[in-house]
Each structure stands twice: as C-alpha cells, then as structure tokens.
Chain A
Amino acid sequence: MKLEIGKFFVKKIEFGSKTGYANGVLTINKEEALAKVREDEHITEAELHIVNPGDMVRLVPVKDAYEMRCRIEGAKGVYPGVTAPLESAAHGRIHALKDASLLVVGKHWGSFQDGLLDMGGEYQRNTIYGAMRNLVLVADTDEEFERHEQQKTNHALRWAGFRLSEYVGECLRDLKPEEMESWELDAVNRRSESVQKLPSVVYVMQPQTQMEVPGFNTLIYGWNANHMLPTYMHPNEVLGGAVVSGSFMPCSSKMSTFEHCNNPTIKRLMKDHGKTINFLGVIMSNLNVVMEQKVRMAIMVAQMAKNLGADGAIVAEEGYGNPDVDYIQVLVELEKVGVKTVGISNECTGRDGKSQPLVALDSTATALTSSGNVSQLYNLKPMPVVLGELESLARDGLSGGWEGCVKPDGSAVLENNAMFCSDHPSGFSVKRCFDF
C-alpha cells in the first residue's frame, strides 16, 4: 500500500479572478468558492476571509479545520464515504496545500465542541493553526432545530468545509508538486527479516464517539464510529482521508479533520519504521459510554495488538473525563497481555491544579505523555478583529466558556477547554503539565 502526497507550500493566500496556485501564492475566486459553499441550501450566509500568522484576529466559534487537498489517483475524492464514493483511502496520490488550512467558523452560533483561536498575541502558539496561513469560512445556517441547543451536529457547516477544501485543493490537480512524500508499509507478514527483528509497534487511536444520537461522532469512511468495534487499519487510510472529525468533544481535546490527515504520531512511526521499530499499523478503537462497552473495546484492542505481534503500543485519547476510563482500560489490557504502552492525552487538574489529572488511574500506566490541562485558565486581551461572534463563547455553552466570561471591551476569560484543538492529542502539542 503506497500513498503519495505531493506538497505545495503556501506563502500567501489572496483573492483573485481565478482559483489557482503558483509559486507559493494561493489565489481564491471568492464567488466561485462561495458558490461551492452554497450548494447546500441550508447555508444562509457565507463569507470568506484570509488570516495569517501574527494577524491580530480572533476566530470563534471554530467548528473544524481541513487540509485543502485533491485526489489525483486512488479514490475518487478526498473523503471516501463522506464526500466521495467508498473506496480505500490507503493508496494513490494526493496533492495538498501545506503550511495552510481551511477553518470553518460559525457566523453567530456556537456549540459545546466549538473553539476559539487567536492568530496573534499571547495565545497564537496554542494551536498549530496560529502558525499557518488560513482560509476562513464564516457562515450561518437555517438548522433551526439545533439553533439553541448546546450540542450541535454542525452538519451544514462541517460539510461546507469538506466541499470547500476539495474545491480549493482541486486547483492542484495538474500541477507539479514542490515536494513529494511517500508512505508505504508492507503487509505485516511480508516484511524483511531485518524489519521483523525490530520491536513491533501499533498505534491505537481512540477518536471521540460517545454520542448515542447520530450526527456527532467521528466518522470512519463515513461510518459512525460509535457503531463499531475496534478494527485494524493501514496508517495510510488515516492520512488518506478515511477519518473525519466529529462534533462533540470539548475543543482543546479535539482531533480536527486536518489533524487526522496529517497525524504526526503516524508520520513519526512511519519514519521510524525499518530503523528503530517495525510499525504494524493502526488499531482504530473508539470511546464508549458504559463500562461494559469500554471493557469489551479494551479487550479487543489488546487481543488484536497481541496477535499482530506487537511489543509496544502508543495509545491516543481524543477527550478527557469519562473517556479517560476507556484510555486507562486499554493501557491496562495491553500491559496485561505483555504489550508495553505509552499514552498520549491531556489532563484535567482543575483551575487550582489540585484535582486528579485523569478520572481513572492505574498503577500499570507508567509511561504517559501529557499534552495540556483542560482547565488551565487563559486571560485573553481584546482583539481588534473577531471573525464569528465572541459572545458565542459565553452564550452558547462552549465547553470552556460560561455566562459572563466575555467582557464588554472584548477581553475574555476562558478555560483551555475552549481553545481550538490546543491540546492536540494527535501529537502536535508542545506543552504539557508539570508538578508544582
């Protein structure tokens, strides 16, 4: 299975008469792009903006982030099972805009899973998107049934993001990439002896799937991953667009669609493959609601890892609180069958830092990576430009906001919980918790 990704490094985004890319400049025909967004009649208002690192701009409520890419070979579109016919995402060729992303922001209304991000100032560094050139879609919808709900599926906006990212990415189809990367892994039992001798490692993903109601969970090839038992996947499927982010997890814990397509843990394991490890692939798990489901899932992950011949596993959890039980359970079951584990998750230690970092703990979890503190308090100064609506943070039940947290001068106090993807459990986080 070989997946090639041709890279185009964006140095500037501008609006112009023709959507295209040349010499680092991405040009967007606004009208054409917005027409793509409005293909869904539920979109009532839509506008595009460009933001760059260092711009004193605040975005809220951010719904999701996307890589702008197109499929050259292999499947027929970027997100098989979601925007494209069902085909394997694991092989073929993709062209992608790098150092750039598409961010989708609600014009007014936020929800539990939405976040805030700053392109400049003290908190620019809290998300990887603060260091990228971003095309920003700010839009509203007529989804009245969830207008005042704290939990929103955000369907129209999220799907507008898929369409728009594909529309922009399409301009790369006939261009020659500035750089190529190639991702390839042989079948686990067809590897050379020298590779087989290395310690074998699996990557266990636990994307957010805890909503019983449809429309909120992470999708795997378009399938609600709540309705799934752990399964084995080729890493290229994740990089190739088989996994898209849901609309439920409090935002700092979120793995965005962009992050699935660029999962840095997978990339690191692929790069180490054949050198220091034998990377067996991805065990795609999920996060569950009741104890019995959690235990069943963990046993199946451990069984699969063991029988693939894993010596070690990296486990990543998209969430905190209740899903910590799934996370710890998987670590415990893996260790029980002799697979050595390392976990990646954030913590929730309370504003005073004194609460138990994960709701479930176990002494066998001896090697954990920490990616941030959900309840860290941030004091945001006013920003000259806000895309979206700042008040949504206080009004609409965003996970780290509350009534009164936005001040009339445009400053705000919030918990990291509402900072868009800032704990990056996908692996990008350059912060962690320390004991004080």
Chain B
Amino acid sequence: MAKEIERSGLPITIMCNLTNIAKTVGSNRIVPTFSVPYPLGNPQASPEEEWAMRKHRVEVAVEALQTPIEEQTVFAVKK
C-alpha cells in the first residue's frame, strides 16, 4: 500500500515495528516503532515516557520526509 502511494510520486514515511517486512515490500523511508500491537505506545512505561517516545518517533518520521535518500533507509530512533 505504501509502495503504491510512493509510486504516485508522494514521499511517504512508513512507521512500523517489523522493518524487515517494510523493506521486503519495497518501502523507502522507514521509521521503527515500539511494538506491533501498540506501535507508538508502551504500557510498561510511565505516561510521560510513553508520550516522549511517541512524539520523538513521529518527529523522526516528519524529518524523514525532508531527508533526501539514495536507497531504502531505516531511520534511527532513540531508545
């Protein structure tokens, strides 16, 4: 799905946990998320930590859209 959106010429960041799957299906800008059932949540963390993690990763995703890349790229996120 992401691939078809990109094929239409729109840059797209895909945020997912299983980054290998995203790479296999041909996504180009990939930002790792925390887990599968709660990609941008973490029930084990405090609400503050969870919020910081979510905001950080979304910010990386936004930044990825502005980053010129030459090949499929998994963008680094803070722990």
In the complex, what residues of B have CB within 8 A of residue A361's CB? 24
Is A175 an interface residue, CB under 8 A from the partner?
Answer: no
A325 touches B18 (CB 8 A): yes
Is A368 an interface residue, CB under 8 A from the partner?
Answer: no
A291 touches B32 (CB 8 A): yes
Majority DSSP secondary structure for residues of B touching A? loop
* Binary CB contact string for chain A from 55 to 86 against chain B (1 if under 8 A, 0 otherwise): 00000000000000000000000000000000
In the complex, what residues of B have CB within 8 A of residue A360's CB? 18, 20-21, 24
User: Smallest CB–CB gap between B42 and chain A, Å?
Assistant: 11
Is A88 an interface residue, CB under 8 A from the partner?
Answer: no
Count of A-B residue pairs with CB < 8 Å: 30
Is B52 an interface residue, CB under 8 A from the partner?
Answer: no
- For chain B, residues 22 to 67, give those with C-beta under 8 angstroms from any C-beta of chain A: 24-25, 32, 34-36
* Binary CB contact string for chain A from 336 to 356 against chain B (1 if under 8 A, 0 otherwise): 000000000000000000001
- For chain A, residues 283 to 302, give those with C-beta under 8 angstroms from any C-beta of chain B: 289-291, 294
In the complex, what residues of A have CB within 8 A of residue B17's CB? 290-291
Residue of B nearest to A324 (CB): B21
Is A329 an interface residue, CB under 8 A from the partner?
Answer: yes
B36 touches A289 (CB 8 A): yes
- For chain A, residues 116 to 175, give those with C-beta under 8 angstroms from any C-beta of chain B: none
Residue of A nearest to B23 (CB): A360
A356 touches B24 (CB 8 A): yes
A360 to B18, CA, bound (A): 9
Residue of B nearest to A212 (CB): B37
Is A359 an interface residue, CB under 8 A from the partner?
Answer: yes
A290-B35, A290-B36 are known contacts. Are A322 and B18 too (CB-CB below 8 A)?
A: yes
In the complex, what residues of A have CB within 8 A of residue B36's CB? 289-290, 322
A362 to B25, CA, bound (A): 11
A199 to B15, CA, bound (A): 43
Is A202 an interface residue, CB under 8 A from the partner?
Answer: no
B35 touches A325 (CB 8 A): no
A291 to B18, CA, bound (A): 5
Is A328 an interface residue, CB under 8 A from the partner?
Answer: yes
Residue of A nearest to B19 (CB): A291
In the complex, what residues of B have CB within 8 A of residue A294's CB? 18
A360 to B26, CA, bound (A): 11
User: Smallest CB–CB gap between B69 and chain A, Å?
Assistant: 20
A291 to B25, CA, bound (A): 16
In the complex, what residues of A have CB within 8 A of residue B34's CB? 290
Residue of B nearest to A328 (CB): B20
B20 touches A289 (CB 8 A): no
* Most chain A beta carbons < 10 A, residue from B20, B34, B36: B20
In the complex, what residues of B have CB within 8 A of residue A291's CB? 17-20, 32
B21 touches A359 (CB 8 A): yes
* Most chain A beta carbons < 10 A, residue from B17, B19, B25: B17
A361 to B22, CA, bound (A): 10
* Binary CB contact string for chain B from 1 to 25 against chain A (1 if under 8 A, 0 otherwise): 0000000000000000111110011
Residue of A nearest to B32 (CB): A291
* Binary CB contact string for chain A from 263 to 294 against chain B (1 if under 8 A, 0 otherwise): 00000000000000000000000000111001
A359 to B19, CA, bound (A): 11
A361 to B20, CA, bound (A): 8
A329 to B24, CA, bound (A): 12
* Most chain B beta carbons < 10 A, residue from A291, A322, A362: A291
Residue of A nearest to B20 (CB): A360
A361 to B35, CA, bound (A): 20
Q: Which 5 A-B pairs have the closest CB atoms?
A: A360-B20, A361-B24, A360-B24, A290-B35, A359-B21
Sampled A-B contacts (14; CB under 8 Å) = A290-B17, A290-B34, A290-B35, A291-B18, A291-B19, A291-B20, A322-B36, A325-B18, A329-B20, A356-B24, A359-B18, A359-B21, A360-B20, A361-B24
Beyond the given pairs A291-B20, A328-B20, A359-B21, 18 more chain A to chain B contacts, judged by CB atoms under 8 angstroms and listed by A's residue number, are A289-B35, A289-B36, A290-B17, A290-B34, A290-B35, A290-B36, A291-B17, A291-B32, A294-B18, A322-B18, A325-B18, A325-B20, A325-B21, A329-B20, A356-B24, A359-B18, A359-B24, A360-B20
